[in-house]
């Protein structure tokens, strides 16, 4: 009887199939909304911020409703601030107020402080702003597609490189399954995606190849940050919303880190509101 029950459990091949099917459904939907324009894209980011806030509050703050509200307000404000639907100064003020209130509420509840308690608000607000600010620029669609391609390719190549090559662990105390092979696979995957995007878009292949490699390495850092939170609070997945993938945070952990880096690079070269051009045109 036990053998029959265990035989019905999905194996590794079945889990991979579920992951592929889920990605095949979600990726076209995300790309369609991204193509539709800055406002639909900002609404998508705002909706994802709400889901991310729910998961982060559940993991780090024991499902506290007050923390969820503060995290959600910060994430949505960041998303709307990126398309100037909310004035940037007002969005920044809301995020700062939510951040202070979140820290004070944590102290009031006496649950103790960790880095994840303190950084929850910026962890949601900054990537939301980065994504929508990039999309609102003159080269916004191309910039976001480049970012998606680099991160998704990095994540995919890292997964298969880690599984097939294995070898020394990258950060065994945080994520025992991650290997150096997976990390360098992410760098390679991001680089290849960046180069391909550059060729099709008529941009500098060398610049985007190098930027893609940087995005690939940085998305692994974002993955580690979320993995550290799950390990610290004894959680395997951030949620069960996406079959075969876990929660929203499990899927965007690398993207949020790479998005902030992309905005910083673009803003450094061309200013916040033209960061997309600054990121792509070299």
Residue 153 burial (C-beta neighbours within 10 Å; 0-12, 13-18, 19+): buried
pLDDT digits (tens, 9 = 90+) for 46-71: 999 999 999 999 999 999 999 999 99
pLDDT digits (tens, 9 = 90+) for 200-220: 999 999 999 999 999 999 999
Rounded to an integer, the average pLDDT of 145-151 is 97
Q: What is the pLDDT of residue 250?
A: 87
Residue 132 burial (C-beta neighbours within 10 Å; 0-12, 13-18, 19+): buried
Question: Does the pLDDT of residue 9 top 70, yes or no?
Answer: no
Going by pLDDT thresholds of 50, 70 and 90, the confidence category of residue 24 is confident
The token pair at 60 is 């780090």
Q: What is the pLDDT of residue 241?
A: 66
**Angle, nearest 10°, between helix axes 140-164 and 180-201?**
150
Q: What is the pLDDT of residue 17?
A: 78
Picking from 153, 151, 74, 182, the residue whose alpha carbon sits closest to that of residue 119 is 74
Rounded to whole angstroms, the Cα distance separating 218 from 208 reads 15
Q: What is the pLDDT of residue 176?
A: 81
Per the prediction, the chain carries an average pLDDT of 89
Question: Does the pLDDT of residue 137 top 90, yes or no?
Answer: no
Question: Does the pLDDT of residue 184 top 50, yes or no?
Answer: yes
Going by pLDDT thresholds of 50, 70 and 90, the confidence category of residue 72 is very high
Which H/E stretch holds residue 280?
A: helix 275-280
The token pair at 180 is 């150096």
74-83, 142-151, 155-164: least confidently modelled range = 155-164
Look-up of token digits 């061309």 = 270
17 or 16, which is more confident: 17
Picking from 90, 94, 57, the residue whose alpha carbon sits closest to that of residue 74 is 94
171 or 237, which is more confident: 171
C-beta of residue 187 within 8 angstroms of C-beta of residue 162: no
Could you tell me what percent of the chain has a pLDDT over 70? 91
Picking from 211, 212, 210, the residue whose alpha carbon sits closest to that of residue 189 is 212
Residue 161 burial (C-beta neighbours within 10 Å; 0-12, 13-18, 19+): buried
Going by pLDDT thresholds of 50, 70 and 90, the confidence category of residue 167 is confident
The number of beta carbons lying within 10 Å of the beta carbon of residue 104 is: 11
Rounded to an integer, the average pLDDT of 125-153 is 96
Structural domain boundaries in the chain? 13-280
Q: Which residues contact 88 (CB under 8 A, 6 or more apart)?
A: 81, 272
């Amino acid at each position: 009887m036990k053998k029959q029950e265990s035989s019905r459990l999905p194996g590794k091949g079945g889990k991979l199939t579920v992951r592929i099917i889920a990605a095949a459904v979600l990726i076209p939907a995300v790309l369609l909304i991204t193509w539709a324009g800055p406002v639909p894209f900002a609404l998508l980011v705002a909706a994802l911020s709400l889901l991310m806030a729910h998961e982060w509050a559940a993991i780090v703050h024991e499902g506290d409703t007050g923390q969820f509200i503060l995290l959600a307000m910060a994430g949505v404000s960041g998303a709307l601030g990126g398309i100037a639907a909310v004035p940037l100064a007002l969005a920044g003020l809301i995020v700062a107020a939510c951040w202070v209130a979140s820290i004070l509420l944590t102290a009031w509840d006496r649950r103790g402080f960790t880095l994840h308690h303190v950084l929850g608000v910026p962890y949601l607000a900054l990537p939301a702003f980065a994504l929508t600010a990039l999309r609102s620029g003159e080269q916004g669609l191309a910039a976001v597609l480049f970012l998606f391609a680099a991160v998704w390719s990095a994540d995919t190549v890292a997964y298969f490189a880690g599984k097939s090559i294995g070898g020394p662990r990258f950060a065994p105390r945080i994520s025992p399954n991650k290997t150096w092979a997976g990390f360098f696979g992410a760098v390679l995957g991001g680089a290849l995606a960046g180069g391909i995007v550059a060729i099709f878009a008529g941009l500098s292949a060398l610049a985007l190849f190098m930027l893609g490699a940087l995005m690939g390495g940085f998305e692994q850092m974002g993955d580690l940050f979320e993995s550290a939170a799950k390990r610290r609070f004894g959680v395997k997945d951030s949620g069960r919303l996406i079959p075969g993938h876990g929660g929203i945070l499990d899927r965007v952990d690398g993207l949020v880190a790479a998005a902030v880096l992309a905005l910083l690079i673009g803003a450094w070269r061309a200013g916040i509101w033209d960061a997309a051009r600054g990121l792509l045109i070299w």
